[in-house]
Amino acid sequence: MREILPGVLHWTAMHPKIKFEVSSYYLAQERVLIDPMVPEEGLDAFERNPEHVFLTNRHHYRDAGRFAERFGCDVWCVENGLHEFTKGETVRAFRFGDVLPGEIEALEVGGICPDETALLIPRAEGILAVADGVIRMGDGPLGFVPDAYMGEKPDSVKTALREAWSRLLDRPFDHLLLAHGLPWVGGAREALRRFVGGEA
């Protein structure tokens, strides 16, 4: 785990199903986890008990249940993704446009799946946490997931995502917390603008 911004911790862990390392985050001030896997340091690494887990889409439940069991966290997902949870998971619903604990705003992305969510965190010049609609290979440029993960019409999905990101470029943020790839610290809004425009 490393602090990438004041009170914002990032780590990676191997996802057992997809066999790739994925990124997770902890906002210490807000006591909020985003798309968490258990870090290498284990659950004892969290000195202040997390209170909430936010999922950027329904597929990112990951180790949320372990955090909920240990710390009593509330796990949150946008309401149109709740059908995913059929194995007794306790998940609270939010709607796009809601302001969640920590003054974090839930924004609609869609495109790649109906429950694709971005979370706008109002500090450090603005932080935007995103799910699968944009990824990053290591510390490279922003990109899309491979076409194989976009259904039968990947070009239509890419168009819908570019439109969604274009709308969100009006929001104030300077950092991106990516679920897949390293976070983009500083200049992320401009990087997303270049990506939307096909400039990479």
Instruction: Identify the CATH number of the domain in which residue 8 sits.
Output: 3.60.15.10
Alpha helix stretches (DSSP H) within the chain = 64-71, 154-168, 188-196
Confidence of residue 200 (pLDDT cuts 50, 70, 90): low
Q: Which of 30-44, 86-100, 145-159 has the lowest mean pLDDT?
A: 145-159
Confidence of residue 32 (pLDDT cuts 50, 70, 90): very high
Distant-in-sequence, close-in-space partners of 31: CB < 8 Å, separation ≥ 6: 48, 49, 50, 51, 52, 102
Q: Which is higher by pLDDT, 32 or 148?
A: 32
Region 93-117 average pLDDT: 96
* Percent of the chain residues topping a pLDDT of 70: 100
Average per-residue pLDDT in the chain? 94
Q: Is the pLDDT reported for residue 157 higher than 60?
A: yes
Q: Which residue has the tokens 């425009």?
A: 197
pLDDT for position 3: 96
Q: Is the pLDDT reported for residue 131 higher than 60?
A: yes
- Contact in structure between 62 and 37 (CB atoms under 8 Å): yes
pLDDT for position 149: 83
Q: Tens of pLDDT along 36-70?
A: 999 999 999 997 899 999 999 999 999 999 999 99
pLDDT for position 41: 94
Which structural domain range is residue 169 located in? 2-196
Q: Is the pLDDT reported for residue 11 higher than 80?
A: yes
Count of structural domains within the chain: 1
DSSP β-bridge partners for residue 119 = 106, 129
